[in-house]
Amino acid sequence: MLEKLILTAVMLVILSSCNVLPQESSPASPTKIEVEETTPQPVKETKPTESVKPLVDARKLLIIKSEAEKYLRSINFNGAVLVVNNDSILLEEGFGMADIKLEKANTSTTQFRIASLTKQFTAAAILQLEEAGSLSTNDKLLAYFPDYKKWGDITIHQLLSQTSGIARETQDVVKTPVDDILRLNAQRPLTASGGFQYSNINYILLGRIIEQVSKLTYEEYMNRNIFGAISMANSGVASTTNKMMDYASGEGKSKTDFASAVNYEGAGSIYSTVLDLYHWNEALNNHLVISQESTDKMFTSYSNSSYGYGWYLNKKVAYHLGNINGYGAIITRSLSDHSVIIVLSNNELRRAQTVPISNKLARLMENSEMVIT
C-alpha cells in the first residue's frame, strides 16, 4: 500500500512538471514573432522618397515653361533665362540670336557681359580676403590709396555698401582710363556721409584693393578663387587677351567692344552664362565661396536704399541689375529657399525692362516672395 502511494506521488510530480514547462515557454513565443514582424519595417518602399524634396508636377512644369516661353517671345526677348523654384529647374533656355551674322542662337551656355552683377563677385572676393586675415572691412582707404586724401577716412565697408559718399562718375568709363577717372573724382566733394550713393567708383576701388592685397590681377584672382573653385567654366573677366568660346554679340556692338569693359574692373567687367550664375547661386547657398558669417554680412541692409554688399535687398529676395554697352542683366535670388531667376540679354535692357521680366517669371512660377516691389 505504501509503495502504491509513493508511486502515485511521483507520477503527480512528473505530470505537474510537464504542465508547468509549456506555461513558462508560451510567453516567449509571441515575443519572437514580434521581432520577426518588425525587422523588415525600417525598409519600407516609401522611405527613400520621403527624404527627397518634392519636384514640381510634370504637367504644371510644362504649363509654366510654355507660358514663360510665350511671354518672352511676345516681348521679343533676346538672351537666355534660367528659372529655379526651390531646387526645381523650371526653365533653362536661350531666345533669339547670339550672333545674327553667324546665325548662332542663344543658349544656356552663351556668354554675356553681366555688367553690375560683377559687384557681388567683387564683394565675395573682399570677404574671402577678410576671412583669410589679409584685410578688414573696417580698414580705411588711406592705407591703400594715400594719394587720394579726401577719401582717406572712407572704409572698405562703406565702399561695399555704397555709403562712402563718393559721387557717381561723370566720365565715360568705357573711353576714359581708370587712373584718370579715379584722379578726377578724388577731387570732387563727398556727398552726405553714411547715405546711399550708388557709384561704380566704389567697386573699381575694391578691385584695386583685391589686386594690392592678393598680389594678383583682378582677373587672376577671380579665375583662381571664384570661377575655378566652383566650376564656372564659361565665366571670366573681360580683357584684351581672353578668348570667348560662345560669346553673344551685344545689340549693335562689335566683338571688339567687349574689351572696353576692362575699365569697369571690379564694377562691371565680368562675363558669364545663366548656367554658371546658377552654379554661383548654389555656391552662395552652400557656403562654398564664403562662410555663413560672411554671407550674412553680404545680405544685410546698410542703408535706407536696402543695399548690402553687392546686392539690393527687397523683403525676402536679393537682386541686382546690370546694364552695359549692348547688354542687360538681372539676378533675383530668394533669401528663404533655393529659388533664383537669372536673365541675361544681348539687348541693352534697363531696369524698366529687366525688373518686369523677373517679376513676370516669379508670378508664373507662383512664388510671390520673388517679386521685386
Q: How many domains does the chain fold into?
A: 1
Kindly state the cell numbers that stand for 299.
545680405
Written as one string, the DSSP assignment of 87-137 is TEEEEEEEESEEETTTTEEP-TT-BEE-GGGHHHHHHHHHHHHHHTTS--T
The answer to whether residue 251 is domain-embedded is yes
Q: Which three cell numbers stand for residue 228?
A: 575655378
Mean pLDDT of 225-238: 95
Percentage of the chain lying above the pLDDT 90 cut: 62
pLDDT of residue 162 exceeding 80: yes
Determine the pLDDT at residue 244: 63
Cα–Cα distance for residue pair 51/198, rounded to 1 Å: 44
CA distance 216 to 235: 18
Q: How far apart are CA 244 and CA 235, in angstroms?
A: 9
Cell reading at 219: 582677373
From the number of C-beta atoms within 10 Å of its C-beta (0-12, 13-18, 19+), residue 15 rates as: exposed
Provide the residue range defining the domain that includes 72.
58-91+112-370
Is the backbone of residue 87 left (phi > 0), alpha (psi -120 to 50) or beta?
left
User: Is residue 285 situated within a structural domain?
Assistant: yes
Within a domain: 11: no
From the list 285, 291, 273, the residue with the least C-alpha distance to 231 is 273
HSE, side-chain direction, 13 A CA sphere, residue 28: 5
**What would the mean pLDDT of 205-210 be, rounded to a whole number?**
98
pLDDT for 264: 85
Give me the pLDDT at residue 152, please: 96
Q: Which residue has the higher pLDDT, 260 or 148?
A: 148
C-alpha cell belonging to residue 207: 578691385
pLDDT, averaged across the chain: 83
Write the CA distances from 122 to 2, 102, 302, 303, 370, integer angstroms.
110, 34, 17, 19, 24
Residue 281 lies in a domain: yes
Max CA distance (Å), the chain: 135
> Where do the DSSP E strands lie in the chain?
79-85, 88-95, 97-99, 104-105, 112-113, 236-237, 270-272, 312-314, 317-324, 327-334, 340-345
Greater model confidence, 42 or 311: 311
Question: Residue 71: is it exposed, middle or buried by C-beta count within 10 angstroms (0-12/13-18/19+)?
Answer: middle
Q: What does the pLDDT read at residue 177?
A: 84
The answer to whether 124 touches 288, Cβ cutoff 8 Å, is no
Report residue 245's pLDDT band, with 50, 70 and 90 as the boundaries: low
* C-beta contacts of 69-76 below 8 A and 24+ residues apart: 69/93, 69/95, 71/360, 71/361, 71/364, 72/357, 75/357
**184 located within any domain:** yes
Looking at residue 56, what is its pLDDT?
58
Q: What is the pLDDT of residues 59-110, one digit of tens each?
A: 888 888 999 999 999 999 999 999 999 888 999 999 999 988 888 999 999 9
Q: What is the pLDDT of residue 287?
A: 97
| Least confidently predicted of 153-167, 200-214, 242-256, 333-347 | 242-256
The domain that holds 338 is classified in CATH as 3.40.710.10
pLDDT, position 240: 64
pLDDT beyond 60 at 306: yes
Model confidence at 258: pLDDT above 90: no
Whether 256 is covered by a domain: the verdict is yes
Give which of 323, 327, 354, 351 is closest to 253, Cα–Cα: 327
Does residue 102 belong to any structural domain of this protein?
no
For strands 236-237 and 112-113, give the pairing: unpaired
80, 118, 355 from 365: Cα distances, Å: 17, 27, 16
Assigned domain for 148 exists = yes
Confidence category of residue 178, pLDDT binned at 50, 70, 90: confident
Residues 182-205, mean pLDDT to the nearest whole number? 89
